[in-house]
Amino acid sequence: MPPVNPPPNRLDAVKPMFSARAALLMLVAVIGGALAAAIVLPLWAPTLSESLLGPEPKAYWYLARSAGLAGYLLLWFSVAFGLLISNRLARAWPGGPAAVDLHQFASLVGIAYGLFHALILLGDRYLSYTLWQLVIPFGSADYRRVEVALGQIGFYLMAAVTLSFYVRQRIGYRAWRLLHYASFAVYSLVLAHGILAGTDASALPVQVMYIGTGAIVLFLTFYRILTAMNRPRPAARETA
């Protein structure tokens, strides 16, 4: 019996470079590491924590900011390679299968950085986030509630899109493909979150990064739309 909704090309059928078990273990390790650094270290080793962080610790805030920027770049990298694949430009560089692997790898590692970006804030004493405020959109009442929620919603959508690689055969190719269109919403939400809520958004290098990466995604998106519009349609079958 032929498979339901078979993919039109072999690139869409490439298996994830990480097994589902390996991906889960990596995410669990990131969650455990962030919680240990933010909660366990100050409780079990307060002297060590104070010597590292000082009376007004800002290390957690710096870690959250750097992880947020790294997570954004990984998301951009994933979206850009996804567009290269759909535009068939990846055949020229770096090659179709390599582009698929890079696309999936960047997505998964981007989730890890997103988790760390949020959970490490549990150790910050200035904002004093609770776990509830970090995981529930619009739960942050003290610091740019809506702007922070954009990033939270974008993260959950990104996780759904990325982890759909592992259930592609169960949900069918068409459903998986439609779910992947949410990548545009993910990128827009995370970009807005970084610009509106990011502490470093006013720095010139960060502004240049946002403008440059956003322009590339916009160009690749319009290129995809134009190539799809100009693609010849199959001739209609004649009826007797």
* Banded pLDDT at 204 (limits 50, 70, 90): very high
Q: Under the phi-then-psi rule, with left for phi > 0, alpha for psi from -120 to 50, and beta for the rest, what region is 129?
A: beta
Residue 210 confidence (pLDDT): 97
- Pairwise pLDDT comparison (151 vs 165), residue with the higher score: 151
Q: pTM here? A: 0.83
DSSP conformation class of 92 = T
* Banded pLDDT at 212 (limits 50, 70, 90): very high
- CA distances from residue 128 to 120, 159, 204 in whole angstroms, order as listed: 11, 25, 28
The tens digit of pLDDT for each residue in 89-144 reads 767 666 667 888 888 899 999 999 999 999 998 887 777 788 899 999 998 767 88
CB 68 within 8 A of CB 82: no
**Could you tell me which of 221, 163, 155, 219 has the C-alpha nearest to residue 191?**
155
> In the chain, where are the structural domains located?
10-228
Q: Is residue 169 pLDDT above 90, yes or no?
A: no
Gap between the Cα atoms of 210 and 56, Å rounded? 30
Residue 46 confidence (pLDDT): 57
Gap between the Cα atoms of 208 and 196, Å rounded? 15
Residue 238 confidence (pLDDT): 45
The tens digit of pLDDT for each residue in 53-99 reads 555 557 788 889 999 999 999 999 999 988 888 877 767 666 667 88
The tens digit of pLDDT for each residue in 176-199 reads 888 888 999 999 999 999 999 988
Gap between the Cα atoms of 143 and 130, Å rounded? 13
Q: Is residue 31 pLDDT above 90, yes or no?
A: no
Residue 33 confidence (pLDDT): 84
Residue 232 confidence (pLDDT): 64
Gap between the Cα atoms of 30 and 63, Å rounded? 13
